[in-house]
Structure 1
Amino acid sequence: MHNENTQIVFISGKDSYAMDLFEIRPLNFLIKPLKEEEIVKIIKKVIELSAKSNHFFEYKIGRTQTKIPLKDILYFESSGKKVKIFTQDEVHEFYGKLSVIEQQLTNKDFIQIHKSYLVNYSHVIKYHYENVQISDNTVLPISQQQRKSVSDILLQRWREDKGNG
């Protein structure tokens, strides 16, 4: 169905089915008998994911207003007075400042890694001290000034994610 917003949790008495479900990409696979804390944890995760999927970044070029779902944005790149928005399929460009965008996206999973780059945490697949790799395999540099804070943020988030699922 190509619907990334629908969350599926499978419940079974046999764990042998779990590996067959990777293509479907369920949110989770629970084994009977169910435990209340597992169910509560899954419900919280569904609520968190659905809240994220309803957020958009809006920008304007001339008289045209455009909205892009935040979950689709890989990263923002600033060059001069222009900002490029990179998604998996296309690049959008408009006049703006990265500092203003960063303020708009506070608490929205975006991390300033460099004066020219604001990355979507959800699309960071690898982290090295000097750079991050995004889900489209783009490698972006982390400025010296940002290395400590980026490292702290990413390590904290990965610990949280590991604890949640």
Structure 2
Amino acid sequence: MKTFKCAIIEDSNTQRKLLEQIIDKNKSLKLLHSSSATTESLAHVNNLKIDFLFLDIEMPIMNGFEFLKGLTITPQVIITSQNQKYALDAFEFNVTDFLLKPYSTARLDAAISKAIEKLRSIKKKLPESRLLVKHNLKQIELNVHGILYVEALGDYVKVVTEDRNYVILSTMNGFNNRLEAKKFIRIHKSYIINLKMVERYNHEFIEIKNKKIPISRAKIVELDRLLNCFE
């Protein structure tokens, strides 16, 4: 049986414990993190490969929408709130479901089933050559084969493709881990390149579509080896 990893971001200790108990009884779910919303919990959740996020809206340090904006991952999000007025804003973030507190166990189970079905549907539709990423707060499918290179932009990365550029909230390490190691290499602290797109190179820089990208000395030998294998 497939196990789906999840996290809870909820300010109420009572609601958190309730969710933890329900998840613990569900053989399809595995809880990796449970806390209120803080910058530390946001960073931690972004480093987890979760499938589900159970998210409260009204929290004192960081509200649920601020938490959503800071996510660099794309889990199925189930919003829980005491106020119906947040429902419309929640669905603008493409969340999976919105539960109005107090909700029944049956209603929560229905939301979980809905999220599982969406995950299975995405997996069937998404070929290995595509990545699901968040761009302008929307989930999009990114064609991996069309990536020329990736450039660091502070807390974001700029993904340069043959058609257009995408600015995505992600660390370089996080994005690099989602790419195939045999086809991509991080040749510099600020650049990841698609090996098949390299037009020419020396031991100082590589060139892709007239863009000269620097190579760190530590990566020269690995780049030589990968390009020779790739060709």
Question: Do 2:182 and 2:226's aligned partners in 1 also have CA atoms closer than 8 Å?
Answer: no
State the SS of the aligned residue for 2:141. Answer: strand
Aligned AA for 1:131?
F
Equivalent position to 1:105, from 172, 179, 182: 179
The number of residues matched between the two structures is 105
Equivalent position to 1:96, from 170, 180, 192: 170
State the SS of the aligned residue for 2:163. Answer: coil
Question: Do 1:129 and 1:151's aligned partners in 2 also have CA atoms closer than 8 Å?
Answer: no
Aligned AA for 1:78?
A
CA distance in 2, matches of 1:101, 1:82: 10
Residue 154 of structure 1 pairs with residue 189 of structure 2:
no
CA distance in 1, matches of 2:204, 2:161: 23
What residue ranges of structure 1 are gaps of 5+ in the alignment?
Answer: 1-52, 159-165
Q: Larger relative contact order (C-alpha < 8 A, sep ≥ 6)?
A: 1
Please list the CA deviations of residues 4-24 of structure 1 after superposition, one character each: whole Å capped at 9, or x if unmatched: xxxxxxxxxxxxxxxxxxxxx
Matches within 5 A, 1:1-150: 55-61=129-135, 63-107=137-181, 109-134=183-208, 136-150=209-223
CA distance in 1, matches of 2:128, 2:229: 24
CA distance in 1, matches of 2:142, 2:185: 18
CA distance in 2, matches of 1:73, 1:56: 10
CA distance in 2, matches of 1:138, 1:72: 16
What residue ranges of structure 2 are gaps of 5+ in the alignment?
Answer: 1-126
Larger Cα Rg: Structure 1 or Structure 2? Answer: 2
Q: TM-score, normalised by structure 1?
A: 0.58
Question: Do 1:74 and 1:88's aligned partners in 2 also have CA atoms closer than 8 Å?
Answer: yes
Q: TM-score, normalised by structure 2?
A: 0.42
Question: Do 1:125 and 1:133's aligned partners in 2 also have CA atoms closer than 8 Å?
Answer: yes
Question: Do 1:56 and 1:70's aligned partners in 2 also have CA atoms closer than 8 Å?
Answer: yes
Q: Percent identity?
A: 29
CA RMSD across the alignment: 1.8
Please list the CA deviations of residues 57-113 of structure 1 after superposition, one character each: whole Å capped at 9, or x if unmatched: 221146410112111110111121110000123111011011111111134611111
Please list the CA deviations of residues 96-150 of structure 1 after superposition, one character each: whole Å capped at 9, or x if unmatched: 011111111134611111111111111111121111111x221111012212211
Aligned AA for 2:228?
L
Aligned AA for 2:214?
P
Question: Do 2:187 and 2:219's aligned partners in 1 also have CA atoms closer than 8 Å?
Answer: yes
State the SS of the aligned residue for 1:146. Answer: helix
